[in-house]
Structure 1
């Protein structure tokens, strides 16, 4: 089973954040989480971690629709970051708009697009398929 050392949740939905953390902890997939409620805080946090040589997450679960800086704006900044570490990134959104689904395919940084609501079995099945470089 894949073990994820650290997950970064970027979402303004506190219920979603709580649920994902609970699923990952009880499934023993991950115990360490960083949470940001908008893209601007997340990109600033990641830049700081990279610059200061702090721990960088293995996995990012990113919502699209958030205040201040949305997921697309975050991705535009994220792809400029310079790090040798492979970070697996999933869009996790309630959007089923074909425009969003197609736009996600334009970013090579995105592993996949997961539609909310997410279930325990779907999340575990998805994350067990990823290769986290330790």
Structure 2
């Protein structure tokens, strides 16, 4: 892995959405190492496992809201308890059209924004462009 590769963690239980994001990543032209986890608990476990590895820690996280085991909101609460020292750009990525979900995302200091599904090539390229690796 080179220093210029961007680590992307997608937390989403929808396999079709994961497939679409993988295809979009390929079309951005960026070097991206994409990892996906199907619920918040698996993501927390993964982050605990790699927390000391700077090469693997995500630069960008896309987090779905509605998932089994640990949903997006519960993941964020668990993430805050991890006390990780590294910084990841975090965005909620959801098909939710509820204004209260958009407003709730704003209450988490770790969340940079709310993105409605489906993710576009343009939006992902914009997010990747902002990452400094």
TM-score normalised by the chain length of structure 1 = 0.86
Q: Distance in 2 between matches of 1:117 and 1:52?
A: 31
Q: Secondary structure at the match of 1:80?
A: helix
The CA deviation string for residues 76-134 of structure 1, in whole angstroms up to 9 with x for no partner, is 01122223322011100001111111110110100110011222223323443x2x242
Q: Distance in 2 between matches of 1:118 and 1:26?
A: 12
The aligned length equals 130
Give the RMSD, CA atoms, in angstroms: 1.9
1:11 to 2:24 alignment: no
Contact 2:105 2:111 in 1 (8 A): yes
Change (3 A) 1:53 1:122: closer
1:62 to 2:63 alignment: yes
Residue 37 of structure 1 corresponds to 38
Q: Which moved more, 1:63-72 or 1:51-60?
A: 51-60
Contact 2:28 2:121 in 1 (8 A): no
The CA deviation string for residues 42-68 of structure 1, in whole angstroms up to 9 with x for no partner, is 001101111567621111110000011
Q: Secondary structure at the match of 1:89?
A: strand
In structure 1, runs of 5+ residues without a counterpart are none
In structure 2, runs of 5+ residues without a counterpart are none
Alignment of structure 1 residues 100-111 onto 2, 5 Å: 100-111=101-112
TM-score normalised by the chain length of structure 2 = 0.87
Residue 48 of structure 1 corresponds to 49
* 4+ residue segments displaced more than 3 Å: 51-54
Residue 75 of structure 1 corresponds to 76
